[in-house]
Amino acid sequence: MAVIDSTAIISDAASLAHDVSVGPYVVIGPNVTIGSGCVIGPFTRIEGPTAIGERNNFYGHASIGGPPQDLKYGGERTAISIGNDNVFREFVTVNRGTAGGGGLTTIASSNFFMAYSHVAHDCHVGSQTVFANNATLAGHVEVGDFSTIGAFSAVHQFCRVGEHAFIGGGSMATQDVLPFVKTVGSRPAASYGINTIGLERRGFSKDTIEALQRAYRLLVRSKLKLEEALLRIESELSNYPEVRYLAEFVRGSHRGFIR
């Protein structure tokens, strides 16, 4: 049975599962769908169109589904889609998409957004990521599964963060962030090798980590031209799917990547 505080304001055009918990002074607008087991903490505001899956926890004072902070936005109908089992701590903000960016901001499942972190319009966040306090995405950013965005870090618009990437606190990423790699620094940021400890904790084999380390050295530390390094990686290490993904990520970069 839903537990809804008497001070909450919920639109008649919103749809809540039967067991959603809604705290004091929550505001839920029209065209919002909230799945089973969700907890909406005090003073949270959710605007639509927004679709929220199951067992998400909004601790309080979050702002979800607000219009994009984009001067080109003219009130077009855009949306947010959120999966299951995400945690949104205090004052997290997530904005809807823009018409020019596809119209949709997406967050998959099992992510942890610490206080004051921000996901801007048209971003696409994978699963099992961690956003530390004040981690910020500009518009049109893609974030791969299992990545970590450190506290007070920012990712420039149209950049990509690869799977299992680790961005250290206080970093400014103005180009793509390599998967599996530690990236730290402010203007310019730099990469500091494969995130060995993180990958070990995720259960990656020693052979896979060593292959990624070798690929990283060819890509970043050698004096080979980029295409020569990629060809070496693809010819010598293609039996490792993680290495193939790393090479494909680099080949798909439009802004360049942080070395």
Topology adopted by domain 198-251 = Udp N-acetylglucosamine O-acyltransferase; Domain 2 (1.20.1180)
| Domain spans in the chain, listed from the N-terminal domain onward | 3-140, 198-251
Provide the 10 A C-beta neighbour count for residue 117.
Answer: 25
Single out the catalytic residue among 41, 48, 83, 121. 121
| CATH number 2.160.10.10 given to 3-140 | yes
CB-CB neighbours of 187 under 10 Å:
7
Catalytic residue, chosen from 122, 150, 168, 176, is 122
Could you read off the pLDDT of 201-256 as tens digits, one per residue?
A: 999 999 999 999 999 999 999 999 999 999 999 999 999 999 999 999 999 999 99
Catalytic residue among 139, 144, 150, 168: 139
139: annotated active-site residue: yes
pTM (predicted TM-score): 0.95
| Catalytic residue list contains 75 | no
CA–chain centroid gap for 43, Å, is 24
Q: Is 122 known to be catalytic?
A: yes
CA–CA separation, 45 vs 58, rounded Å?
A: 10
Sequential DSSP letters for 147-183: -EE-TT-EE-TT-EE-TT-EEPTT-EE-SBBPTTEEE
How far is the C-alpha of 244 from the C-alpha of 109, rounded, in Å?
A: 25
What does the pLDDT look like over 46-78, one tens digit per residue?
Answer: 999 999 999 999 999 999 999 999 999 999 999
